[in-house]
Structure 1
Amino acid sequence: MSRQIFQLRISLSGVRPPVWRRVLVPAGYTLDRLHRVIQHSMGWRDCRLHSFEIDGLQYGEPDPDGELALDDELDVRLDEVLGKGSRFQYTYDFGDWWEHDLVIEDALTADPEERYPACVDGERACPPEGVGGVAGYQLLLAALADPAHPEHASMREWAGESFDPVAFDAGRAGTLLRRFC
């Protein structure tokens, strides 16, 4: 029996230069598993709230207090609500409000020699958690790029010496996906 695999492109909205990933996921994954794929492929730490919007419906972890009207992401399989060409959104961190545009670029037959999910391509590092959304990230990039910028030293210290905004390693992201998703 062959399994269907969705090829998804995940793009961080409003960020220039673009931050994006291309991942392969089983079409039978539920939205909660796709959430983990997005977290690990993008480089987020999964310490904030999130939601999906598909055809005007909101999905996520149900709010026990009922303040957020979300359908349970555990109950929704990708292949039940999406197909090749589908576009939908994922929002992470309701404070910084990171919007991700997702497109199912293709529907493929699983390669029996491959392990899924897999990250096959992408560009640029994910912004650091708590940077202040798109505007904060643009300030960080400007400060890091200019040693004469008044906030260069403090932003470098805050982001850490190892943060490189142009770095992305699809192989490392793929390893994380196989380990945690």
Structure 2
Amino acid sequence: MIYQLRIALDGVDPPVWRRVLVPGAFTLDRLHRVIQLAMGWGDRHLHVFDADGVQYGVPDPDGLLEVRDELDTRLDSVAVKGSRLRYTYDFGDWWEHDVTVEDVAPADPGMRYPACAGGERACPPDDVGGPEGYRAFLAAYADPYHPEHAAMHAWLGRAFDPAAFDPGPRTTLLRRMT
């Protein structure tokens, strides 16, 4: 079965979200990679899933973070249509994502999965400082008279359009992961 997921980033306005189609048999570690690629994150930080109060992630060898192993957990074992999961990325910036199972349907034989079926707005840059830091970044980045304008452009080192999003390149990246 194919799960249609809507992944929405909390704490940013206007909303940043993605719609992805993934096999229910994907383990949560594969879903983590889907979220990273679909959103546009750099996969440089820790993460954790929360499904009905149970946390899943990469087991901590020191036992500081108690999680069930995401490698051993399939999406279809923790979610059904209408379910909501929480996905937290980067425990410093604390990016929280609301993952909603919008639909569960048989696979279309003419389609390849995973796929990015839609979304809006660019993902914030990694290490920008969470939602508050992102708001400050956007203000400085957009205003040539802001005292941090040049520093933000230099820090990012690339062009950035917060309104831009194209699902095509995201789907290409997703297909390369399989």
Identify the TM-score tier after normalising by the shorter chain.
over 0.9
Aligned to 1:111: 108
Matches within 5 A, 1:69-88: 69-88=66-85
Aligned position for 2:138: 141
Deviates more, 1:122-131 or 1:145-154: 145-154
Name the stretch that deviates more: 25-34 or 148-157. Answer: 148-157
1:93 matched to 2:95: no
1:69 aligned counterpart, secondary structure: coil
Per-residue deviation, 1:119: 0.1
For 2:60, give the aligned amino acid: D
**Do structure 1's residue 24 and structure 2's residue 24 form an aligned pair?**
no
Cα displacement string for residues 20-49 of structure 1 (whole angstroms, at most 9, x for unaligned residues)? 000000011110000000000001111110
Aligned-partner SS, 1:134: helix
- CA-CA distance at 1:165 after TM superposition: 1.2
What's the TM-score, normalizing by structure 2? 0.97
Identity of aligned residues (%): 66
> Any gaps of 5 or more consecutive residues in structure 1?
none
Other-structure match for 2:8: 11
Q: 1:165 aligns with which of 154, 162, 166?
A: 162
**What does 1:60-71 correspond to in 2, within 5 Å?**
60-71=57-68
Q: How many residues align?
A: 178
SS in 2 for 1:164: coil
| 1:104 aligned counterpart, secondary structure | strand
* Aligned AA (1:90): Y
**Residue aligned with 2:45, SS:** coil
Structure 1 Cα separation of the partners of residues 70 and 61 of structure 2: 14
* CA root-mean-square deviation: 0.9
Structure 2 spans left out of the alignment, 5+ residues: none
Q: Equivalent residue for 1:177?
A: 174
Tell me the distance in 2 between the aligned counterparts of 1:57 and 1:150. 44
The whole-number CA distance in structure 2 between the counterparts of 1:159 and 1:45 is: 13
1:45 is matched with 42
Give the whole-Å Cα distance in 2 for the aligned partners of 1:140 and 1:104.
Answer: 31
TM-superposed deviation, 1:145: 2.1
Structure 2 residue aligned with 1:150, among 147, 150, 157?
Answer: 147
Aligned to 2:117: 120
Q: Which amino acid is the alignment partner of residue 24 of structure 1? A: L
Q: CA deviation at 1:146?
A: 1.6
Letter paired with 2:30: R
Equivalent position amino acid for 1:125 in 2: A
